[in-house]
Amino acid sequence: MKTTSIRDLLAEQPVLRDLEPADIDLMAGCSHNEVFAAGTSLAREREVANRFFVVREGHVALELHAPTEPLLIETIGAGDLVGWSWLFPPYRWAYDVEAIERTRVIVIEAACLRDKCDADPAFGYRVMKRFAHVVIDRLHTTQYRLLDLYGAGDVR
Amino acid sequence: MVPVMSADVDSTTTTASRRAPVGPMVPARYRVAGRQPEAADAFTIDLLPIDEPIDEPEPGQFTMLYAFGVGEVPISVSGCPHREGGVLRHTIRAVGATTRALCGLEAGSVVGVRGPFGTGWGVSAARGSDVLIVGGGIGLAPLRPVVRDVLADREQFGNVAVLIGARTPADLLFVAETEQWRSRPDAHVAVTVDAAPRGWEGNVGLVTMLLDRLPITTDRSTVFLCGPEVMIRVVARELVDAGTDAERILVSLERNMHCAIRQCGHCQLGPLFICADGPVVTWAAAEPLLEVRRW
């Protein structure tokens, strides 16, 4: 059976497409695969954000804890990135992350990647640019959602 | 209670008593044959002609629906008679007096219908290419006949993707039919909502989140796009950035149509009268007009 290396799996991810091959090599050294069954937790709000995820298959839900029941913020599917709280202190998750279905992810160990970014600022800059791109995309779509785009238009 | 003409015309109306419309401003009478709720504020009504029927509409065209005694509104056709067993289908969101009256019609009620008006999607021109259909909110209604036409002649098209966005799961249109589309192995169908209660197992997020990893090639696909204007802009720009030709992105614009025959000017958008030059136009034509800041 053919197995794909973690490096090749990372290189296939659209969310990392702007990174150079050498960057992917560096990132691969901090990465491994994990599988989460439906309903299991990938992260909890306020826990230490010592890792983040690239979803390979399946979907996860980003949820905010609330007194009655968790509030569903957004879902993240294959090819997308989950988590950026690892980038800056205090390195704590801002929301819960739960697998909606059986979900395969690449786990990237945050401290390992941060150390490599600090050791090689050019690499760190490229990683930061890539993540800033994702964060800005997510911010824009959140702003659009706040507009309630599907609300009433013509009121005749 | 909104006054709407009740079922005062016998369904056995004879041919001799039929009254052919005498012009595009004279409505033909249609009887409501059925009414189905689609969402909390949206209904599909099926119409059968009493008078001489209007011409067969093309997907994307609209009619002027007249709730007698209340008013007339432009509504895109959500089902063409040749694919709906003879009924003319409209899906209407109740947002004002006239649309509320239309959504409240019981079977047997009579409405006036003028049309069909405007440009259609031109589905047959997409044959041979990949097809991406993106509908947001009530914007899925005019795209439903496109999906049906494409899936009915599936072998004529390349890869097919249908993306649907709505405010919440309760606002989704054509839920059962969407499941049928989704069950087909030869079409990629994805749904997302802006907000959902826990337990919703679909996507939550803007419809653009569904654009990644589509099984279509953006540089040789035809795109059919309808929804709120801001959504159209966001999706169209993202597709153009990904390499789609703006001439191959078809969008349906909504403006204040009244006469529907290029006379009153209410629906004018730059050089276009949307009632006649639209509602379906290319993104290449629409983008510069939609970028005008304040009229």
Count residue pairs from A and B with Cβ separation < 8 A: 86
pTM: 0.88
pLDDT higher for B293 or B157? Answer: B157
CB atoms within 10 A of CB A67: 4
Could you read off the pLDDT of A92-128 as tens digits, one per residue? 999 999 999 999 999 999 999 999 999 999 999 999 9
Per-residue pLDDT at A112: 97
Could you read off the pLDDT of B16-35 as tens digits, one per residue? 445 444 688 899 999 999 99
Over residues A10-30, mean pLDDT: 92
Per-residue pLDDT at B7: 41
pLDDT band at A153 (very low <50, low <70, confident <90, very high): low
Per-residue pLDDT at B57: 96
B197-203 long-range contacts, CB within 8 A, separation 24+: B197/A72, B197/B169, B198/A63, B198/A69, B198/A70, B198/A71, B198/A72, B200/A72, B200/B169, B201/A100, B201/A101, B202/A75, B202/B169, B203/A59, B203/A75, B203/A77
pLDDT band at A154 (very low <50, low <70, confident <90, very high): low
Q: Taking CA atoms, what residue in A is nearest to B227?
A: A150
pLDDT higher for B14 or B62? Answer: B62
Q: Do B181 and B189 contact (CB within 8 A), yes or no?
A: yes
Could you read off the pLDDT of A126-142 as tens digits, one per residue? 999 999 999 998 898 88
Smallest CA–CA distance, residue A72 to chain B, in Å, is 6
Interchain contact, A151 vs B167, CB within 8 Å: yes
Quote the CA–CA distance of A26 and A117 in Å, as a whole number. Answer: 9
Quote the CA–CA distance of B31 and B112 in Å, as a whole number. Answer: 9
Average pLDDT, chain B: 89
Residue A1 above 90 pLDDT? no
| ipTM for the complex shown | 0.83
- High-pLDDT (> 70) share of chain A, %: 96
Quote the CA–CA distance of B238 and B244 in Å, as a whole number. Answer: 9
Smallest CA–CA distance, residue B103 to chain A, in Å, is 12
Interchain contact, A149 vs B136, CB within 8 Å: yes
